[in-house]
Amino acid sequence: MTRLLPLPLLMLLLSGCATLNENECRSVDWRELGLRDGRSGYTPQRLAEHREACAKHGIRPDERLYEEGRRDGLREYCVLDNAVQEGLAGRRYQGVCPSGINRDFRDLNAAAYEVHDTRRAIDNTANRLRALEAELNNKKTSDKRRTQIRDEIRELDRQYDQLKDTLRARERDLDRKTDSMRYGSLRR
């Protein structure tokens, strides 16, 4: 059975897809917007998204100014320290840097993203353990369920320890790659 969303909710969801609203399309400094998008590592597809959002209001972006700003923003973004910061923040590299730095940026970002991903898995496991312990301590929990909970806690404890080991290894790998980058030996 298909359920239709109420019109106000549907409009809210659809409006969340636009990169710019009508007022922003009319007043935006296209060079500044390109600069911000470049600093954020957006691909050229971002301009197409802005174009689509503003076309709904009969407004065309100044592509020349936008691309000029985006190029300047990418010069600021495409610094190897950003590769690590972006990865640790859970943002994957989109391949926007010039060929001279592209591979190193990608490798550092991937290593940092693995650290982020492992930290997230550790947090999720810790949250699940807390929830199970709370359920175990609940007086209404049956004996049969308590046995199941204890088994699950033992397994999650093992997984948690493995994840901590994995995190240490990934942090060491990231440190090694970062140090190699700083001393120039990361380049192949």
User: In the chain, what are the domain boundaries?
Assistant: 17-77, 78-188
Higher pLDDT, 8 or 141: 141
Residue 75 has pLDDT above 50, yes or no: yes
Nearest to 112 by CA among 132, 89, 134, 143: 89
Predicted pLDDT of residue 182: 77
What are the start-end ranges of the H helices in 16-98? 22-27, 30-39, 45-55, 63-77, 80-88
Report CA torsion sign: 176, 181, 183, 186. positive
Predicted pLDDT of residue 17: 58
Burial bucket for residue 177 (CB in 10 Å: 0-12, 13-18, 19+): buried
Residue 79 has pLDDT above 60, yes or no: yes
Q: How many CB atoms lie within 10 A of CB 89?
A: 10
What stretch of H or E contains 103?
helix 99-137
Are 95 and 106 in contact by the 8 Å Cβ rule? The answer is: yes
pLDDT tens per residue, range 81-135: 999 999 999 999 999 999 999 999 999 999 999 999 999 999 999 999 999 999 9
Residue 2 has pLDDT above 60, yes or no: no
Helix, strand, or coil (residue 60) = coil
